[in-house]
Chains A and B, each alone.
Chain A
Amino acid sequence: MTPMFATQLFALAALLFALAAFIARRQATVRRALPVDRSPAKGDAQRGVLYAFTLGMAPWAKESTRLHPVAYLRGIAFHVGIFAALGACALSLWWETFPPFMRGAFAIVIGFGALMGLAGEAMRWTEANLRALSTADDHASVWALTVFMAATSAALIIPAGLPIMYITAGAMLIYAPLSKIRHCIYFFFSRRFFGVFIGRRAVLHTAPQGLSRGLK
């Protein structure tokens, strides 16, 4: 067994563990009660959900992101980097068939994501609120993802770094379902509940007159 193959196996095993753990988590949450809302709707729940996952995520949609566009963009770049790195890692066996500019583009996006991870970690230490709020798990989660992105970006440029990428991917994937990183699955629950709330109650989208009084 070559070192490369061993690290690939490790990453694959970690991926299977992460997928199984995430699915188990999701199922455990789905098994919990989902309250049935019996109050007559004023607006459209589906419209609210659509908004929550689209325009509701836009930087201008919330006062908080309007006030802190840099923090918002840092977060976006960080998460884009994570998903690009996961995609790149999954396709790593076929990298040689990629045109050089494509590998370069991936390396830049993922590398920038890693830099944004470092920036995020710096913010957690320097900003008083974040410092007070952060747990060791928060720091470890950011580091796990940042190191994984950095290794993936480097491996895209220097193929000899592939084993390191697989090791960091494996470590991150094992840690993910045990840690704060698992918020990725709850994002979908939370935004959907928020969307249903604002949609049914017509909080952000005014119901037509008449409907607004629940009279029709």
Chain B
Amino acid sequence: MTTTTIETALQVLEKQLNQPLEAALEVCARCGLCAEACHYYQAEPSPENVPATKGEQLRGVYRSEHDFLSRIFPAWTGAEKLTEEKLAAMAEMAFSQCTLCRRCTFNCPMGVDTPLMMRTIRAMASATGNAPEILVMLADAAIEKGNDPSFFRDMFVEQMADLEKELQAETGDPEARITVDRPGAKVLYVPLAGTHTILPPAIIFEAAHEDWTLSIFEAANYGVFLADTAKAKQIAARIVNEAKALGVEEVVLAECGHAYAALRWEAPNWFGETFPFKVVSLIEKMDQYITEGRIKLDPTANAERVTYHDSCNMARTGGVIEEPRRVLKAATLNFIEMTPNKAEAWCCGGGGGLVALPEYNERRLKAGGPKAEQIRRTGAQVVVAACENCRLQIGDLSRHYGLPVEITALADLVVKAMRLPTTSDHMQAIFESDKAKVKVARN
């Protein structure tokens, strides 16, 4: 690293220094009330895991650049000039000791937006080559895929033709279709990697007689984890342009927390426009179908004790809180809440891209301790999570902490409660196979 690196990092800070960020940097009274709100602190109660302490990393740099008293007497205010070592340490902290879950913000008397500061550090790290390589590679691969989709389109369409047969077998409807990028469709469904995020929604869309088509892209956006707006925008542009070209009315995203937060809440600001289509989660869509009576569910199909994990991106960041509960009440017989839940739910520890970073596995599993304990207390046999990263993390937690639970997506339970004419054993095998593939790919 060189002086240019530091200059670049500081330029990123200056560029991002808008009113919300300055408020977050200035308002903290260092009262320490945020400490116990953080799952990292719960797992390891030390001062460096207090959210305010993490925020001080950036505040020190900000003060050294912007505060009169700090420039004269930096030691008095804890101001610290940015150095190569400090930038590297800040990057390590922002990527491995904060999942951007917002729990501290909700518990702060001032409402300090610590995740905003952590994202700023991540942006500084990304701009200077200090971000985790895996996240950079995943983001770049997604951008590459968007640049030339023809490379894999034929293979994907072929795969979907095979999956269409599965759909027809599952629904007992030879007319059931999985179309890819069909112009004129009302709904564009954007899945994640793996057919386990395609077949259940396809079954639900067919049952609801939805006019839908499938996106060739995946909803995941690793640019968000890097806080690299340019990359995040490029990744989102694939879906935005696809939806515009097809003329759809609605984009429905797979059960994925960060993808939802990104495309529903952030992307319009990256593009500087309100999209000509709505962006909803599959959770909201299922809630709509149930409310409108377009799909009928038999809750006795899911008689086990079921609990729901609020993904931070879906709940605290996204506001999707009551919808999954309405769906669960319709699809299951024995739903039990974790305590606390909804906006106060504990982060599972896998957010912010952590689940994709094997170098932080130990820390990630430790930070998931509060969530594991929450799950254990419910006595549930099934944990539902509306986010792929949360499901992967809770799966890891269940093995690490010995939780006898099955982890599933909400759509899987809904499909089960639809009482399809054919056995779902085969479909279950597909889910399991896909989950295994995802796990292998990740490791």
- Interface residues in chain A, defined as those with a beta carbon under 8 Å from any beta carbon in chain B: 29-30, 32-40, 42-43, 52, 57, 62-65, 67-68, 71-72, 75, 127-138, 140, 178-180, 182-183, 186-187, 189-191, 193-195, 198, 201-204, 206-207, 209, 212-215
Contact = CB atoms under 8 A, between A and B. Distances in A.
B109 interface: yes
Contacts of B76: 135-137, 140
B31 A39 contact: no
A207 B77 contact: no
Given A57-B109, A64-B34, A183-B26, A193 B77 contact: no
B343 A203 contact: yes
Given A38-B273, A132-B47, A186 B26 contact: yes
A7 B157 CA distance: 83
Given A30-B19, A38-B273, 6 more contacts: A39-B266, A39-B269, A130-B32, A183-B28, A187-B110, A193-B113
B302 interface: no
Interface in B114-145: none
A178 B343 contact: no
Interface stretch (B88-96, B314-322, B347-355): B314-322
B174 interface: no
A78 B232 CA distance: 45
Given A135-B78, A193-B20, A214-B278, A206 B321 contact: yes
B269 A67 contact: no
B291 interface: yes
A183 B27 contact: yes
A191 B29 CA distance: 14
Contacts of B412: none
B110 A213 contact: no
Interface stretch (B49-57, B236-244, B424-432): B49-57
Nearest to B47: A132
A140 B268 CA distance: 44
B77 A34 contact: no
Contacts of A75: 31, 109
A187 B77 CA distance: 19
A133 B280 contact: no
B272 interface: yes
The 7 closest A-B CB pairs, nearest first, are A194-B111, A132-B47, A201-B319, A189-B23, A186-B27, A64-B107, A38-B268
Interface string B310-337: 0000011111011100000000000000
A70 B69 CA distance: 32
A73 to B, nearest CB: 12
B374 interface: no
Contacts of B36: 63-64, 67
Contacts of A212: 284, 287, 319, 322-323
B151 interface: no
Contacts of A130: 30-32
Contacts of B316: 203
B98 interface: no
Interface string B258-291: 0000001111110111100011100011011001
Contacts of A128: 47
B110 A29 contact: no
19 contacts: A35-B269, A38-B271, A39-B267, A72-B109, A132-B47, A132-B50, A133-B30, A135-B76, A138-B30, A180-B29, A180-B77, A187-B27, A189-B23, A190-B23, A193-B20, A194-B113, A203-B316, A203-B317, A215-B288
Contacts of A133: 30, 32, 47, 50, 52-53, 56
Contacts of A207: 319
Nearest to A76: B109
Nearest to A36: B269
Given A57-B109, A137-B69, A214-B278, A202 B19 contact: no
Given A64-B37, A206-B321, A39 B29 contact: no
B321 A203 contact: yes
B204 interface: no
Nearest to B15: A33
A128 B75 CA distance: 20
Given A178-B68, A213-B284, A215-B278, A134 B321 contact: no
Given A35-B20, A63-B37, A133-B52, A190 B112 contact: yes
Contacts of B323: 212-213
Contacts of A57: 109
